[in-house]
Structure formats: C-alpha cells, structure tokens
Chains A and B, each alone.
Chain A
Amino acid sequence: MRRYPLAALLGLTFTCAYFGAALLAPLIAPYGMAEVVGDSWEPSSAQFWLGTDSIGRDLLSRMIWGGRTTIFVAACATLLSFGLGSTLGFFAAVKGGWVDQALSRMVDLMMSIPSLISALVVLSVMPVTLPVLILVMGILDSTRVFRLARAVAVDVAVMDYVEAARLRGEKQGWIIFREILPNALSPLVAEMGLRFIFAVLFISTLSFLGLGVQPPLADWGGIVKENKEGIVYGIPAALIPAFAIATLAISVNLVADWVLNRTSSLKGGRGA
C-alpha cells in the first residue's frame, strides 16, 4: 500500500518549507527586514538572490520576513475563525430551537455582505493593526466554519447511535465529545486547510489594497503593492510574492485533500 501519494508528498514538502522559513526567519534571512542594502530593483545576483525591491532592500529577506507575517496573521485568523465557528456551530446543532435559529440567522446576515466588503467597511473606522486585522478576518470567516460545523453536527446528531446514547442516559458532554465530535472531525480538519488558504489570500488582498499589514512591516501582499510599478518596466519583482502565495495555497490544498481522503474511510482510528 502506498502510504503517501505523490501530490500529498509534494504539498507536505512545500507547506513544511514555508512554515519552516516563517519560523526561522531571523536565522535564515540574509539581511534585515527593512535594511536598505543596494539600488532599487537590482537584478538577481550572488549577493541578492532575488534582486532588490523598489527602494533597494534585499527581496529574499523581504520575502522570508513577509512570509512570517502573512503566515502568522493567517494562522491566527484561522484558529480564531475555527475556534469560534466550530464551537458556536456545534452548540447550535446540539441545542437546536431558538439558540440555533438566532445564531443561524445572524450568520446568514453576515454572509449577505461579501466578506472583503465587510472588512473594508470595518477597517475604514478601526485602526489598522495586526490584532484588529486578525480579529476582523477571524470573525468574518468564522461564519463559514459555523455553517459547516453546524451542518456536519446536525447530520451526525440524527444518527441512531447518538439516539442510543441519549436513551442510555448519557450526559451532554459525552454525546458531544465522544459520539458527535469524532465523526464530525475529518470534514472540519480538511476545512481548516481551506480556511487557512482563504485567510492567506484575504490578508494578502487587504495588504495589496494598502489596507492590511502596514509598512515597514513586510508581508507578501504588501511586497506586491510596493513593487507593482516595476511591472510596466518589465521587472518581475512583484510576481515573486504572488507566486509564493499561489504555491502555498496549492500545497495546503493538496495536504487538506489527502487528510480528508485518509480520515474519511470509516475504519475508525487506525487510518487506512
């Protein structure tokens, strides 16, 4: 039996590489984040592997530091959206009645406005700082997690084995954590990967629009913005971070697919 399909292996390698670089940025980045070390838009050389940016900072170092910011913000937002969305989603599914109605209608309402528009509206009055960004993205995105978690939990909650546990007299805690959760987990884990990608794209888009991470702090969307003028002169510096975003998104996607396939076979905890 093949343990790791090629696509998953590829995805896993890239994902680990990006996360590793983000964690170890202070050790592996050749120059400081905002250190001006050369002329603007120098081509790639032995000294500057990816060349320099619009004001002469080493692009490789900016990329590594920027990846750290992007991945950190996206990961925090994902954890927040996940924690909030799945807790409330499970709560709504198990409680039912007016609690479910109130939460579900609230989420419908939040989803009736595209999340980028909502974020822009809120950011027009809030100070644009990392905690605010994480909070805004996390809360807006938790609506999608809520819907999924609720749907999965409702599906599982009507199963006869949950009814059997209730007839046995089990407490709410056992029913949620022992009967429902283990069976609702695998779609949620895969969803976590998708939410993370979404958060990466979201923060990059905001930064690209100038409304996300503020300079001099580097992040991938911001690097695109800083170097976009170069494009018309044929300088591809802005394409590099955009390419990094795309490869990160695709590799996390591949890993999430693999996790879903692996855990959705119902042979219990042994894995297949």
Chain B
Amino acid sequence: MAHPVVTLVAQRLALGLLLLWAASVLIFVGTQILPGDVAQSILGQSATPETLANLREQLGLNEPALSRYFGWLAGVVQGDLGTALSNGEPIAPALGKRLANTLFLASCAAVIAVPLAVLLGLVSVRYRNRWPDKLISTVTLATISVPEFLVGYIAVYFLSVQFRVFPSLAAVYDGMAFGERLYAISLPVIVLVLAVLGHMMRMTRAAILNVMQSAYIETAELKGLRPFLIIARHALPNAVAPVVNVVMINLAYLVVGVVVVEVVFVYPGMGQYLVDHVAKRDVPVVQACGLVFAGVYIGLNLIADLVSILANPRLRHPK
C-alpha cells in the first residue's frame, strides 16, 4: 500500500484540478448563460436588429451553450485563449506579458510582506499584551479597515506629490533595467505590502500563539530550556504548517489587491487589463483573465493544503 501522505497529496492535486475545471464552468456560466444578452449589452441602446444578429454570429452565440463551452475549454487547454473582441488580436500573448508584469509586482510585494509579517507576528507574541503588541495590533487593524486605493492615494499624495520620492505612475516598458523597474514600482509595492500585511501578521500571531500555548511548550519550559531552544526545537517545527497556511491564504488576498493597485498606478498588468476589458464588455478577455486569476488563487490554496499535509507528523509517521 502507498504511504498515506502520497495518497493524500495525490487526492489534493486531483481535487485542485477538479476545482479549476469547475471554476472554468462557473466563469463560462457567469458570462454566457446568465440572463442578459451579451450582444445587446455590448452594443448598447444603439443596436439595430442586423448589427445584433451579426455580432451574435461573430460571437458564436447561436450555437448551443455546451458546444461553445467545450470549444472554449479545448482552446484553453492548448493555450489558445481566443481573440479579443475589441481589437481582434489573440489574447494569449497580450495576457502573457501582462501576467509576467503582475507576477513581478506581486512577488516583490510578497518578498517584503511575508518576512515582515512573520517577524511582526513573532514580536507580537514575544511581547504579548505589552506595548509593542498593542501598537502593532492597532496599526494593522487600521490598515485592514482602509481600502487599498486610499492607501494608494495617500502614498501618492505624500511620497510623490509632496516629497517627490517615488514616481506616481508605475510606467514599465520592455528593455527597462531591473533597477529602474524596481524604482518604478516602488509605490505600488508599498501599497500592496500594507494591504496584506495586516491580515497576514494577525493570522501569523494567532497561529504562533496557538502553538505557544500548547502543553508541550509548558513541558519545554519546565525542562529549563533557554527561550531560544524552546522556540527553535519545540515551537518552530509545529508552527511551520499553520504559518505557511496563513501566508498562502494572504498571498491569495494579494491577487485581489493587485487589481485595484494596478488601476491606481496605471501599471500594465493583469488587473488593469481585466478592468479595461470589463468596461469594454470584451467577454473572451474577461473569461481568460478570470480563469488565470482563479488558477493562481486555487494554486496558492493548494500549496497551503499540501504544506499542512507534509508537515503533519501524524501523517508522515503513521501508526
């Protein structure tokens, strides 16, 4: 019989694929089958019966929904995301470039936010209910309650208009040097970090606190171990899984935050691309973007799941 961890991991991977497929159905249903005529809403009030019929033909709306779905899905699996209605160009290359930009922005934010959140979480636990903890908790509560675009504009107002430290627009183009690119996106990165930091730090704190309050930590204290050894030997191995979980869940928040931040800073990424084409009612682009966002989101949650399985001693060392 296979090791239970192998079985579980295989199960989770299969479940992730199933979920991704179901999400594709949901996105398709959301754009194609909902009440409301796509062609009508694209053309608006000025539509004549002929233009409507033409557009329907062009969109393939006269075919049955099921065959349209499988046609779309077959394309997606082969990397063909269809063509945009607004300019008639294939979606995949345009989207690929923007996805790269978005991932660059998001990973820069993650590289700063994750260690910072874990560090602040540790500090909060170390000084629990004393002033550092209270200060961190108040500030993070405030950042949670504030919409991302407010953080964005406050940052622009002070950091680029009043003090002119950073550019207010995150203009990036091909062939830009890495350093320049980093400088260009510094404001959006700051905003993204602030947007996820609060949630991530609070959840990290809760996860670590939960471990620190378990009976085996008391055992370690009653063994007279140094605080450093207690944390390194007894808390850390058990805290890894919950903390990784927290981090992954919050990186998923980042995926959503990035949409707003890209619009604020006019950054040529996925979010901006999606929002523009929602306004243009360019359904194929919206479907493609929706699917990519869902894929990233599901993928991050899957990683969180896998880490907790791999870190669980009960599963790694079965009876």
A–B proximity contact (CB within 8 A) = yes
Which of A108-143 touch B at CB < 8 Å? Answer: 108-110, 112-118, 120-127
Given contacts A117-B256, A209-B260, A231-B157, contact A204 B147 (CB under 8 A): yes
Given contacts A205-B149, A250-B142, contact A112 B290 (CB under 8 A): no
Which of B258-295 touch A at CB < 8 Å? Answer: 259-260, 263-264, 274-275, 277-279, 281-283, 286-287, 289-290, 293-294
- Establish whether residues A232 and B161, one from each chain, have CB atoms under 8 Å apart when the complex forms: yes
- Establish whether residues B30 and A118, one from each chain, have CB atoms under 8 Å apart when the complex forms: yes
Contacts of A110 in B (CB 8 A): 26
Q: Give min CB distance, B38 to chain A, whole Å.
A: 5
Given contacts A109-B26, A116-B256, A120-B286, contact A242 B157 (CB under 8 A): no
Contacts of A125 in B (CB 8 A): 30-32, 34, 36, 38, 41, 281, 283
Of the candidates A112, A116, A126, A250, the one whose C-beta lies within 8 Å of that of B23 is A112
Per-residue CB contact flags for chain A residues 155-171 toward chain B (1 = under 8 Å, else 0) read 00000000000000000
**Is A236 on the interface with B (CB-CB < 8 A)?**
yes
Which of A181-202 touch B at CB < 8 Å? Answer: 197, 201
Contacts of A97 in B (CB 8 A): none
Per-residue CB contact flags for chain B residues 3-37 toward chain A (1 = under 8 Å, else 0) read 00000000000000001001100110011101010
Given contacts A224-B149, A224-B153, contact A113 B297 (CB under 8 A): yes
**Is B122 on the interface with A (CB-CB < 8 A)?**
no
- How many chain-B residues does the 8 Å CB contact rule pick out? 52
Which of B116-168 touch A at CB < 8 Å? Answer: 141-142, 145-150, 153-154, 156-157, 160-162, 168
Contacts of A174 in B (CB 8 A): none
**Is A243 on the interface with B (CB-CB < 8 A)?**
yes
**Is A15 on the interface with B (CB-CB < 8 A)?**
no
**Is B193 on the interface with A (CB-CB < 8 A)?**
no
Q: Give min CB distance, A259 to chain B, whole Å.
A: 17
**Is B196 on the interface with A (CB-CB < 8 A)?**
no
- Establish whether residues B156 and A232, one from each chain, have CB atoms under 8 Å apart when the complex forms: yes
Q: Interface majority SS on B: helix, strand, loop or mixed?
A: helix
Closest to A200 in B: B147
- Establish whether residues B30 and A122, one from each chain, have CB atoms under 8 Å apart when the complex forms: yes
**Is A36 on the interface with B (CB-CB < 8 A)?**
no
The CA of A116 and the CA of B298, in the complex, are separated in Å by 15
- How many chain-A residues does the 8 Å CB contact rule pick out? 43
**Is A24 on the interface with B (CB-CB < 8 A)?**
no
Contacts of B287 in A (CB 8 A): 121
- Establish whether residues A114 and B34, one from each chain, have CB atoms under 8 Å apart when the complex forms: no
- Establish whether residues B275 and A209, one from each chain, have CB atoms under 8 Å apart when the complex forms: yes
Closest to B28 in A: A121
Q: Give min CB distance, A118 to chain B, whole Å.
A: 7
- Establish whether residues A239 and B263, one from each chain, have CB atoms under 8 Å apart when the complex forms: no
Contacts of A201 in B (CB 8 A): 147
- Establish whether residues A124 and B283, one from each chain, have CB atoms under 8 Å apart when the complex forms: yes
Contacts of A63 in B (CB 8 A): none
Closest to A201 in B: B147
The CA of A234 and the CA of B168, in the complex, are separated in Å by 12
Q: Give min CB distance, B198 to chain A, whole Å.
A: 12
The CA of A238 and the CA of B231, in the complex, are separated in Å by 47
Which of A224-248 touch B at CB < 8 Å? Answer: 224, 228, 231-234, 236, 238-239, 242-243, 245-246
Q: Give min CB distance, A25 to chain B, whole Å.
A: 22
Of the candidates B30, B154, B275, the one whose C-beta lies within 8 Å of that of A210 is B275
- Establish whether residues B146 and A113, one from each chain, have CB atoms under 8 Å apart when the complex forms: no
Q: Give min CB distance, B137 to chain A, whole Å.
A: 12
- Establish whether residues B263 and A209, one from each chain, have CB atoms under 8 Å apart when the complex forms: yes
- Establish whether residues B153 and A127, one from each chain, have CB atoms under 8 Å apart when the complex forms: no
Of the candidates A118, A122, A124, A127, the one whose C-beta lies within 8 Å of that of B277 is A124
Closest to A225 in B: B149
- Establish whether residues B294 and A242, one from each chain, have CB atoms under 8 Å apart when the complex forms: no
Contacts of B150 in A (CB 8 A): 224, 239, 242-243, 245-246
Per-residue CB contact flags for chain A residues 204-228 toward chain B (1 = under 8 Å, else 0) read 1100111100000000010010001
Chosen A-B contacts, 22 in total, with CB atoms closer than 8 Å, are: A112-B19, A112-B298, A113-B23, A113-B294, A114-B294, A121-B30, A121-B290, A124-B282, A124-B286, A125-B30, A126-B41, A205-B260, A208-B149, A211-B275, A224-B149, A224-B153, A232-B168, A239-B157, A242-B147, A242-B154, A246-B146, A253-B145
The 5 closest A-B pairs by CB, nearest first: A242-B150, A249-B145, A124-B286, A246-B146, A124-B278
